[in-house]
């Protein structure tokens, strides 16, 4: 009586089928993780604070979803790292009724 090894495949189709099924599982999990990361604003809501966006020396920022620009400046709160090209933006939640000066005073870096 011949005994088969546990890792032996009877033909190449068995191996390719197992690899294909594993690949589909990993791809599905990967897509779900990406989708969840993209939807964090929808799941947890837009952060309720103002934040500066733009990285010196070339600043081309855009405000995140659910936020609008209240102020634009070359330096932002950090006077050492100013933009040579473009400007930094102070982005606040759309529903936050606040002056640009007040937003700058309470903004997080």
- List the structure tokens of 66: 């659910």
DSSP state of 108: B
What average pLDDT does the segment 35-56 reach? 68
What average pLDDT does the segment 76-82 reach? 86
pTM score above 0.75: no
Q: Which residue has the higher pLDDT, 10 or 107?
A: 107
Q: Which residue has the higher pLDDT, 37 or 18?
A: 18
């Amino acid at each position: 009586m011949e005994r088969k090894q546990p890792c032996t495949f009877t033909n190449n189709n068995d191996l390719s089928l197992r690899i294909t099924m594993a690949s589909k599982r990993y791809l599905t999990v990967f897509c779900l993780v990406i989708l969840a990361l993209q939807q964090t604003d929808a799941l947890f809501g837009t952060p309720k604070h103002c934040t500066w966006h733009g990285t010196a020396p070339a600043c081309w920022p855009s405000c995140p979803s659910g936020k609008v620009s209240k102020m634009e400046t070359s330096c932002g709160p950090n006077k050492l790292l100013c933009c040579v090209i473009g400007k930094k933006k102070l982005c606040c939640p759309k529903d936050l009724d606040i002056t640009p000066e007040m937003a700058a005073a309470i903004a997080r870096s």
